[in-house]
Amino acid sequence: MTTKTTVAIAVPLEAELVERIRAVDPSVTVLYEPDLLPPERFPADHSGDPDFRRTPEQEERYWDMLNKAEVLYGFPNESPAGLARIAGSNSRLEWIHAMAAGAGGAVKASGLDAATLQKFKVTTSAGVHALPLAEFAALGILNGFKRSAELAQDQAAKLWPELRTPTRLVNGSRLVVTGLGEIGLETARIARALGMRVSGTKRTVEKIDGIEQVTDNDGLAGLLSTADAVVNTLPGTPYTEKLFGRDAFAAMKPGTVFVNVGRGTVVDEEALLEALGNGQVSYACLDVFAVEPLPQDSPLWTHPKVMVSPHTSALSAAENRLIAERFCSNLRTHLDGGELPHLVDTVHFY
């Protein structure tokens, strides 16, 4: 007898992608009520229009739909509070697939205890965002090496400097990537295509093709001392909190380019500002911050050697399709009784 599985779509999603999920297996029933979901304002707007409000009747229908499912596509209302509520109301829940690559923070913020978190699995969309994040990291490296911030300032001032300032060659330079997971390895691939020599960190130290040296965080200072550019892809965990502090920036060579596409909590922003001030860091390209949205009074907004990106570097027009394809693959694995990839670690929350 074939076991029936019900999937509920908890976040905005195009109808054609819902049909792809339905097509995974005849045993799958997909619950999808677009009138209960906020309209997207842009591609892959998983939270949808913040002004959207359900009527009381719609709200009841929304939660009734989610409580009928063993599998959820997205966190309810794309929020930690929604995750906490469904965990308490849906006793049949087996698995939730999160839209984010780094969903551990939201799981932690839900406040669910360890026993509750053992009742169902949470997978992330890690890997889907690897290419756009790696391309953004390459942009940050090139901006720093090619002095794009100074060029923009001169252009705004209509200034043609009397003394021409050379730029730096990316080819032959050394890159350190903290976090050689899928994002880190994709960053390394692009960097090597530009002629960079790449080393990096990984929790489990092992040889990786194309990576000159791999260490854990204990060996980070030694890597930083040789780096011309550093890209952080690490998630926010108690073990990575302010990993890039005064000691890490002091270990860098003067003029290092720093890019952060991981989590903002990995960087001590005061220490980064000091490093920018004393020249240890020549340029910083930042997509993530300790507090988001970045507070209006943060000096990072107006720093002449900083690019601020509002945590959007992972976004692409293809994101919904890529996440849906990842979910379909995972759903097939789930139906076949296999081990789901990219599970959220409910101890370290990454």
CATH 3.40.50.720 fits 130-308, yes or no: yes
CATH 3.40.50.720 fits 5-128+317-335, yes or no: yes
Task: Tell me if 5-128+317-335 shares its fold with 130-308.
Answer: yes
**pLDDT for residue 127:** 87
Burial 111-146 (b: 16+ CB within 10 A, else e): ebeeeebeebbbbbbbbbbbbbbbebbbbbbbbbbe
Question: Taking residues 321-331, what's their average pLDDT?
Answer: 97
- Write down the domain spans for the chain: 5-128+317-335, 130-308
Active site residues: 263, 292, 311
Question: Taking residues 114-118, what's their average pLDDT?
Answer: 95
**pLDDT of 1 over the 80 cut:** no
Q: What are phi and psi of 278, to 5 degrees?
A: -95, 0
**pLDDT for residue 2:** 61
Res. 255 pLDDT band, cuts 50 70 90: very high
